[in-house]
Amino acid sequence: MSEHQGRIILVTGASRGIGYATAKRLAAEGAQVIAVARTQGGLEDLDDEIRSAGGQCTLVPMDLKDSDSIDRLGAALNERFGRLDGLLMNAGQLGAITPFPHTTPKDWDSVIAVNLTANYRLIRAMDPLLRASDAGRVVAVTSSVAQSHRAYWGAYAVSKAGLEAMANIYAEETEITKVRVNIYDPGGTRTAMRAKAVPGEDPSVLPEPSAHWDNLSMMLGAGYNKTRQLVKFAR
């Protein structure tokens, strides 16, 4: 029996890229996937693939900038399941690759809202459900720019640095519980976001989103007892 059989795992950014590939595989491994994304069409495609393979999926079309919706989702999951076994905080927004002074307030607010504030609200809403699990697992997807502080990556780099800090703080706060909180850096991957960030790059040299399954499966599994770890994808 798969380690994920019967586990309830919430995946954000599930309509494409790493989130889509991971949600599909989790469902194939027997998890009840809660798939969250803004793009209805992508979620419906995911649902079709999962159900045609005999898996289970609950679609949640949601703009993560709507914090009240996150609270409502937490309440709904509590009423339906009473627990949450895994939370993959994968959704992200790139924003403009531009000098810091050229970053518009609108772009800054949007990137911080999606990449940082929404994940705080997810942790806040899902914490009681994760603690109710016999092995609650949280994985925050980061980027190398969170630590390299690369020029022109402004709001995105700041948001990911904040996400890493938040995940590490939450990991310490839950260290004596059954919740484990870790960070995953996928590196360059063949996704729409990567194409936007590095438009001149040959996508064929990059790994597919599905290449991250082994690491994410491990980190979301009940048997992964490490916490406050940064796992980097090794090509």
Q: Which residues are catalytic?
A: 156
The three state secondary structure string of the chain is CCCCCCCEEEEECCCCHHHHHHHHHHHHCCCEEEEEECCHHHHHHHHHHHHHCCCEEEEEECCCCCHHHHHHHHHHHHHHCCCCCEEEECCCCCCCCCCHHHCCHHHHHHHHHHHHHHHHHHHHHHHHHHHHCCCCEEEEECCCHHHHCCCCCHHHHHHHHHHHHHHHHHHHHCCCCCCEEEEEECCCCCCHHHHHHCCCCCHHHCCCHHHHHHHHHHHHCCCCCCCCCEEECCC
